[in-house]
């Protein structure tokens, strides 16, 4: 029997696409808020593991001058496969589900890809509710 090592791993086992983990995206965005608010309102991401191998990342707005008051803006949940992930949105929306003719309020909708996550974040960050919270914290911090 030959002693030469055989490599059974496929050459493309490492994903060389430019996929960034959701938490990296959140942290990058969090780091950008302080500059825009003269650090009166900052953002922070806290990660914890929950049941079923899922990770939970909570995106907070933080007001250092208010004894580090924290406002929970949204939460995402994902497993090892990253996508689809669940994003629990602050804006409660009412949807009609045609499959069983029910009306449901849904704050959690699956995000299928990195592009979709970026789009959802852009939507949350520019929503009137987010602006209202940030401006209230700035006013209270001054």
Partner 1 sequence: MLTFLFWNLNGNPLEKVIANLVSLHHVDILILAECKIPVRTMLETLNPVGKEAEFHFPFSITEKIFIYTRFSSDFLNAIDEDKRTTIRKLSLPARTEILLVATHLPSKLHRSENSQDSTSQELGRTIREVEGRTGLNKTLLVGDLNQNPFESGIVDARGLHAVATRAVATKNSRKVDGKEYPFFYNPMWRYFGDENDRPSGTYYYGGSEPKTYFWNIYDQVLLRPNLVPLFEQQELRILTGDGKQEFLKKGVPDKAISDHLPILFKLNI
Contact set with partner 1 (CB under 8 A): 46, 48, 50-51, 56, 66-73, 75, 88, 90, 92, 94, 103-105, 107-108, 129, 132-133, 136-137, 140
> What pairs with residue 41 in β-bridges?
none
* Residue 65 DSSP one-character state: G
Q: Quick one: CA dihedral 91, 96, 99, 104, positive or negative?
A: positive
Residue 104: CB minimum distance to partner 1, A: 6
Specify the residue, 60 or 114, whose C-beta has the smaller distance to partner 1. 60
Q: How far is the C-alpha of 52 from the C-alpha of 41, rounded, in Å? A: 34
Residue 71: CB minimum distance to partner 1, A: 5
Specify the residue, 12 or 67, whose C-beta has the smaller distance to partner 1. 67
Q: Which residues contact 105 (CB under 8 A, 6 or more apart)?
A: 92, 93, 94, 95
Q: Count CB-CB contacts under 10 A for residue 13.
A: 6
Residue 80: CB minimum distance to partner 1, A: 19
Instruction: Check: CB of residue 45 under 8 Å from CB of residue 20.
Output: no
Specify the residue, 1 or 103, whose C-beta has the smaller distance to partner 1. 103
- List the helix and strand counts (H, then E) for the chain: 3, 5
Residue 39: CB minimum distance to partner 1, A: 19
Specify the residue, 14 or 139, whose C-beta has the smaller distance to partner 1. 139
């Amino acid at each position: 029997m030959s002693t030469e090592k055989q490599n059974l791993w496929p050459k493309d086992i490492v994903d060389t696409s430019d996929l960034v983990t959701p938490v990296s995206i959140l942290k990058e965005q969090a780091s950008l808020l302080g500059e825009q608010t003269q650090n009166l309102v900052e953002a922070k991401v806290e990660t914890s593991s929950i049941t079923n191998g899922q990770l939970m990342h909570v995106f907070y707005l933080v007001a250092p001058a208010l004894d580090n008051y924290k406002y929970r803006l949204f939460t995402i949940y994902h497993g090892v496969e990253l996508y689809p992930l669940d994003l629990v949105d602050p804006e409660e929306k009412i949807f009609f589900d045609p499959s069983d003719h029910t009306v449901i309020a849904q704050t959690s909708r699956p995000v299928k890809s990195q592009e979709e996550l970026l789009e959802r974040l852009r939507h949350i960050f520019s929503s009137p509710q987010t602006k209202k919270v940030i401006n209230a914290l700035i006013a209270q911090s001054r």
